Amino acid sequence: MGADLCATPASAAGGIRPQVGSTDRHPRFAFPAPCRYDRNGPFAALFSPRGPLDRMKTLLVTGGAGFIGGNFVLGTLARGGWRIVNLDALTYAGNRDTLADVEGRDDYAFVHGDIGDAALVKRLFAEHAPDAIVNFAAESHVDRSIDGPAAFVQTNVVGTLNLLECALAYWRALPLERQDGFRFLHVSTDEVYGSLGPVGRFSEESPYQPNSPYSASKAASDHLVRAFHHTYGLPVLTTNCSNNYGPFQFPEKLIPLMIQKALAGEPLPVYGDGRNVRDWLYVGDHCAAIRRVLEIGRVGEVYNVGGDAERENIHVVKTICALLDERRPLADGRRRESLITYVKDRPGHDRRYAIDASKIKRDLGWRQTESFESGLARTVDWYLDHQDWVGRVLDGSYRMERLGV
């Protein structure tokens, strides 16, 4: 295939493009010759008069077989307007079963692969000519990062860097009208901000103070995304969200883990005193926020997404117990709260997270639709109705044991 579409910034160095909407065409923004759109080059067929003007927009989603990514793919295809190419490595927490309802559709394609595979990512850009990228691909479990931080650096930092390098070279080769519409949306976490005291909330201006290998790796990826915008002009967007919950979440995270253990009548391990606070966000609301940012967010901006639902961990567990006692009582009549067992705290356990989501609400008009109570009830009901899915994802690689000790 002709020119290397995944040339690194060092090999494709040059001026940066002005921000979207700018009419500045000063020579200092000129592209170096290797990055100019070549009508006879490898992308020519994609940008012919019968090409992009008549085709549905294409979205490259990375990590779209995971929890948040899978919900995003399902919800976005249900809304219509995008063709989705889903790249996922199918690690333990990724499962194509989540996407069974959309397999075989003309507007959906699944690709099994790693974001760190430069040749594969380069080929996907060339074959599918995406109009935008949404990067969900990440290792995300704090306890696993304590056990083995190297995998988190490899995926979250090195993998994101590879995506950025490939996206930059691809974007620079686009004709100007498509450059202005292209977006690279990076999905991140509020854990990059560290831990809060009893008052206050994280805003987009909060300093980064990550306390776990996981959050440190996500912080590094956030900084790379910012740097590629400010250094090279790549049109990026970043979202930092609070704790998600909802359908299709792998049962290593607090809410699905407690649901599964409580259903089985097993002890419910709660770290420390159980008073750690998280701001809970229903995954459907988070995905709606991501779509809003993708469609009308301002290039280069960061948007915090939270659920305005701060709850202590022990409150979350007790609420799950009450919901299950009502829906599926234990045969021996015990109340599930009696299963709660306090265990040694996680190393470096952040005390409190809380998100100030006023910016995305004010500037983009996003609002969450689920309260914590309604969202948790929906989630419990989903797991009760989909125990077959849980059984398939628990294939022997994870036995709901404690990690990170």
Among all residues, which ones are annotated catalytic?
A: 190-191, 214
Sheet containing strand 302-305, edge to edge, reads: 108-112, 82-88, 57-62, 132-135, 183-189, 236-241, 302-305
| Amino acid identity for residue 312 in this structure | E
Contact partners, residue 185, CB within 8 Å, separation at least 6: 132, 133, 134, 135, 236, 237, 238, 239, 290, 293, 294, 297
Rounded-to-integer distance, Cα 318 and Cα 299, Å: 42
Q: Looking at the DSSP assignment, which residues form a beta bridge with residue 85?
A: 60, 109
DSSP classification of residue 396: S
Give the integer Cα–Cα distance in Å for 168 and 162: 10
Closest CA relative to residue 198, chosen from 309, 275, 142: 275
Q: Encode 39-55: b = buried (16+ Cβ within 10 Å), e = exposed.
A: eeeebeebbeeeebeee
C-alpha torsion angle, residues 33, 35, 41, 47 (rounded to 10): -130
Task: Quote the CA–CA distance of 222 and 237 in Å, as a whole number.
Answer: 10
Positive or negative: CA dihedral 88, 219, 140, 337:
negative
Specify whether the CB–CB gap between 121 and 133 falls below 8 A: no
The number of residues making up the chain comes to: 405
